[in-house]
Structure 1
Amino acid sequence: MTLDPALFRQAMSRFASGVTVVTTIVDAKPYGLTVSAFASLSLDPALTIIAIDKRSPMHDLLLQARAFAINILSSEQESLSRHFAGPQKHDWSEITAAAGIRSIPLLDGALANMECGLFQAVDGGDHTIFIGQVEHVTLRDGLPLLYYRGAYHDLVQR
């Protein structure tokens, strides 16, 4: 029996996730991409995973750079998520970021910036799973930006 891809996509949309922007730098040029396929993998060593579509230009850039930052967005950064998900994602003219330990851009105002070296890249169907070894972390207080059923949401505390 073949699973209907649209049904699978609908099922996955029912899992609320945080929103990140993955950034890297190649030949002194910054790049970024909105990514919701992110998770922690290991505490010792500190490893995270991101899944990137093999057709995305960011895929080959990450392989070339062998390092990236994961910027966990706050509820006030929906516009950044939309920017790095859209066709203008390579325009950094109005983006505020600081250079990390490997000169990778760290987005200002993110709840967390995790700077990673590429630990391993693993085939994952139409995506590659990039395992990053976390080398440095910066934290800020705030509430997360959430994504659920194709829309942005804020965390409601009970």
Structure 2
Amino acid sequence: MKVSIAGDHAGFEGKELVKRHLAALGHEVIDRGPDNEDRVDYPDFAALVAQDVQSGRADRGVLVCGTGIGMAIAANKCAGIRAANVVSVEFAQLAREHNDANVIALSGRFVDTETNLAIVEAFLSTPFGGGRHTGRVEKIMALD
């Protein structure tokens, strides 16, 4: 699977750890930055990942900032993106199964690394449930 990933200064370390983990699992990773912990504006990086998913250059997107909240909000401004701020494995599974999330936003400050890695694995391995959820996702997408 192709995964586009980005962070901000608060999520830089987490992004790097997730990136290495994804590569070790055999995924192709598109790193959209940043390249260091210097202060940056997270909407710029969320947009790059969202554009990768929109265009099909990436199958899914992963964002990491201090809380994940700002990046999820920014990514959701892009048409076709269903970004969820995820803080547990169960939330990752439900975001995929019920909402067909194509981007997740992780907290680099409030969620430990082990949990974030498990969240990413669940996000990438959980299929969309379809069925009763299909119509709801279609209604969400009609809001674009």
Q: Same fold (TM over 0.5)?
A: no
Q: Higher helix share goes to which structure?
A: 2
Q: Higher strand share goes to which structure?
A: 1
* Greater Rg by CA: 1
Name the TM-score, length of structure 1 as normaliser.
0.26
Larger RCO: 1 or 2 (CA < 8 Å, sep 6+): 1
